Chain A
Amino acid sequence: MKKSIRHLILTAAAAASIAAFVSACSPSADSPASSPASDGTQAPSSADARNPSLADGALPDSGKTYTIGIGQFAAHGSLDNCRQGFLEGLAEEGIVEGENLTVLFENSQADGGIASQIVTNFASQKVDLICAIATPMAQSAYGVGRKQNIPVIFTAVTDPVAAQLANADGTPVGEISGTSDKLPVTQQLQMIRAILPDAKTIGILFTTSEVNSLSAIEEYKAAAPDYGFEIADIGISTTADVPLAADSLLEKADCITNLTDNTVVASLPVILDKAAKKNIPVFGSEIEQVKIGCLAAMGLDYVALGRQTGKMAAAVLKGEKKASEMNFEVIEEAAFYGNAKAAENLGITIPQDLASSAKELFTEISQ
């Protein structure tokens, strides 16, 4: 029946029109394929970057233009910061989005199947480089990139060696390199000891299915005795487990510290609320967590991490270095972030030397 074909076409057309409709009415949906002047150019606010004149702006002298694909595994604060920093890092090296750089951006919403298809899509559009944010995306990107000879630069991969994205000695396994967001565990323990001289037990909530959390817990357990702490950890499997697990953890622990565990971080407000009722301090692992009410954190600056990654990507794009010639990098220095309002609520004073070294000290809790 010809009807069958007609239905097929109709269906495809319907899907396409829905697609167009959704992308048109969703302000956050980037449509890089259709317009090179998509958002995210240096400025964190996308509204400013949607400037059509940028698209026809004069190209820099080199005249070479690049197309890269950024694949982000999930949408949350730190990963978004990574992407922002990455574009900044590229810009510092003279590769500016909208001028000599076209960015294709996709977010897989934590869906592994979609992640691989996003990367395949990048490959088919002949990108010069794939930037993969978070471990599963980096693995998908490497899986495709190595077959298509597309270099991959990753960031926010906690343990590139365990993910087989780097050899044990830190050298690349192929045309892939990037930055790791390994937690500065010892600095964090040091900081907690400084703020809470009498605390004995640190509680940690983590998702059993997140590899990064597992390795972080191991590290905490190994390092805690050096600072006179014990670690009490509770594993959860879904967001729904958080309230009960938090209750049980708050029974045992003198304070709580967070990892970069996606599930737990997403439920952080619940934990903060429960902890506040029992007057137990909660420490974060990065700036976004402190902003919403964690007492303090020795954390990574994900924007800085992204910027560092962007510079590595720029070197690859310009042909100065190959990805296979660069070992993956880690940010050594952790910065102190504190929340004065949270401290006040708990009746705790942040030691002067920490407060003065703070990269950022929030005076209110943002919701």
Chain B
Amino acid sequence: MLKLNHISKYYNAGTVNEMCLFQDFNLSVEKGQFVSVVGSNGSGKTSMLNIICGSIPVDSGTIYMGNKNITPLPEFKRLRSIGRVYQNPAMGTCPHMTILENMALADNKGQSFNLRPGIRRQRLDFYREQLKTLGLGLEDKLQVKAGVLSGGQRQAMALLMASMTPIEFLILDEHTAALDPKTAETIMELTGKIVKEKKLTTIMVTHNLRYAVEYGDRLLMMHQGKSVVDITGSQKAEIRIEDLLEKFNAISIECGN
């Protein structure tokens, strides 16, 4: 499904501040897999997502989605089949547009943004139904601007919007990090439900080890641009937070933290 082959990425190449982020990094994700990614700050988790989405270019290596080489494609073209939810809840919605308008925007992804009416009346019930699944009462606030919603509400909408149209890939970039524990819990449950229902291939970066253990069928721990832990199947099912924490600490001590 997704293949990163021999990816290299340097920051500030050629200067004294040169920093190697990835050197010959390889990753392959099967169709339908839900990968949780953990790792310390600066380990390359978010950079990896950015490389997949095309937000930052690679120095060398190729990225395949299915059988297609997407390396030369710009970000917006890659996102045709990718849904992405960011850490910042404000990134997933338009604050000055109403909930209805936001839903209509997301609904139109992959189609032409032409001169036909922005809101399709016949889709109203569908939007309400979708919003209802969030259980936040947003279905009754269609005319409210997204900007007045709370972070959790916005993130729930962002998740909904990112996965509304048929996509193959869902990218979650620490999408619960900016939320309070209770809201984060709700959003995670929602995430699990959506991924399961739509059978999406998913990569989730998180700092919450418990989520990493509880969700997903594959676990990746990143450190200095390499995956130091990569477990799937029964191994993944059996791993406990304590094991993970231990490994985490081992790496950190190695680094002198």
Instruction: Please say whether the chains A and B touch (CB closer than 8 A).
Output: no
Chain B residues packing against A (C-beta within 8 Å) = none
